[in-house]
Amino acid sequence: MFNKSLPALFSAVILIVLAAAVAVTAFAVDVHQADPRLEKAYRFQKGGWTYVHLEGSPSEIGFQHGYLLAPEIADGLDAVRLLGTHDTQRDWQFFRTNAREMLWPHIDTEYQQELQGITDGARAHGADVDLYDIVALNAFEEVPDYYVPWLNKREKQASAPKLKAPGHCSAFIATGSYTRDHQIVIAHNNWTGYLDGERWVVIFDIVPQHGQRILMDGYPGVITSDDDFGVNSAGIMITETTITQFEGWDPNAKPEFVRSRKALQYAQSIDDYVRIIEDGNNGGYANDWLIGDRKTGEIAYLELGLKNTPLWRTKDGYYVSSNFARDPKLIKEETSGFDVTDMSSSMNARHVRAEEMVQHAKGTIDVKFAQEFLSDHYDSFEKKEQPNERSLCGHVDASPRGVPQWERGPYSDEGAVQGKATDSAMAAKMSFVARAGHPCGADFMAADFLEKHPEFAWQKPLLRDMKAGPWTVFTVGQKEFTVGQKE
């Protein structure tokens, strides 16, 4: 009986596999032939990341982005909506109104077309979004943390929640005698809440109609990296970390998400990048920018405030960044009292550790060292290994102190949610290595966290596990095809 039924079982399995292949092929035909805008676009999964190739005019790139990432955009928007409304105590209509009335009029036509394309593509694939949802999503780093505190202060709202520009990220850039091959090495890990950070796992390969090709990490539905790590085909390599406790906003200027995307797309030199990122500066998402030019080996550090924008540059040296401001004038005029002497703070403790690691590795810094830097758990204040808010690989959820400078309470579920690194040789191929999840490889388990910390139960509907993937190399034009997918 067993022998007679085996061929029938085998035939049934074959039929199931063939049916699945036909379904995948049908989807590929639907995607690539039903709408010619999608002909050059594709996506695949690797190492915990979603790689997306986009190519064409601004509206075509937007449509491809929206269509291919429609489920992720809808999900990512839900997370941003929950965070923004909870933290600011403003409803989502507030964000949509500001998107329409304050942000949209100051967006370049090229990026208006791309944002409209994202909306159209997402809707074509079933996402319930409109243009001003997408614009508000793109401003999710600058409106809640920069515009709203400015507005509350201006309107003298005593009952408003305490909001301060938070710190995001640990990073370094080095060149000359500091690196193994005397060329540039750059590295960055993104610090944010695990609710949105678990979703910040897209690799964008963008071939725009005008400007440079881009390889960057990013958040679904957003036209710029937003945690800001990327390379372009002109050899420009960039990253940044935010300036803690920054205050300042210009409602009549250009959104940061537009300026940062434009700078990476059009810059062919450090001077280009600085000029473009400063043009129309609204003060939103104020950052310390680390910029390298593979062609010259020069690196730069731009402290981009609203009133103060000092720039340092060198062909033999390094810059580290961990959300501290280094310019005394900027600290005095544009922060709410950032304390450079408090060595117990996350920013200053990581600054000390970053300096120590880079100086100790002088002459040997490479991408392998960069991965070690991004994964480091040494607490320079208590002088011992322990993952917490003071380690370069941040684990605020392990800290009974939280980060008061960012208005983050004890055991807040945030920290380093992914890491990236590259060097001049990789950048010449438009390539970098990235790890989804904690760069150290630790996993965050949502149910365990919520059981221990019920004060964060408001996140329960959307908070998910954040499991670390492997360090994975990504390169422009990379393809990984499934059965029936069109090449």
Q: Read off the pLDDT of residues 442-461 as tens digits, 9 standing for 90 and up.
A: 999 999 999 999 999 999 99
Give the pLDDT confidence score for residue 439 in this predicted structure: 98
| Section 3-31 average pLDDT | 39
Range(s) within the chain of domains with CATH label 3.60.60.20: 170-472
| Section 151-172 average pLDDT | 85
Per the prediction, the chain carries an average pLDDT of 92
Range(s) within the chain of domains with CATH label 1.10.439: 39-155
Question: Considering the domain 170-472 in this protein, what is its CATH number?
Answer: 3.60.60.20
Fold of the CATH domain 39-155: Penicillin Amidohydrolase; domain 1 (1.10.439)
Q: Read off the pLDDT of residues 51-67 as tens digits, 9 standing for 90 and up.
A: 999 999 999 999 999 99
Q: Read off the pLDDT of residues 90-143 as tens digits, 9 standing for 90 and up.
A: 999 999 999 999 999 999 999 999 999 999 999 999 999 999 999 999 999 999
Percentage of the chain modeled with pLDDT above 90: 87
pTM of the model: 0.91
Give the pLDDT confidence score for residue 459 in this predicted structure: 98
Q: Read off the pLDDT of residues 396-447 as tens digits, 9 standing for 90 and up.
A: 999 999 999 888 999 999 999 999 999 999 999 999 999 999 999 999 999 9
Give the pLDDT confidence score for residue 478 in this predicted structure: 96
Q: Read off the pLDDT of residues 227-264 as tens digits, 9 standing for 90 and up.
A: 999 999 999 999 999 999 999 999 999 999 999 999 99
Give the pLDDT confidence score for residue 481 in this predicted structure: 57
Are the beta carbons of 361 and 369 closer than 8 angstroms? yes
| Section 359-380 average pLDDT | 98
**In which band, very low, low, confident or very high, does the pLDDT at 333 lie, cut at 50, 70 and 90?**
very high
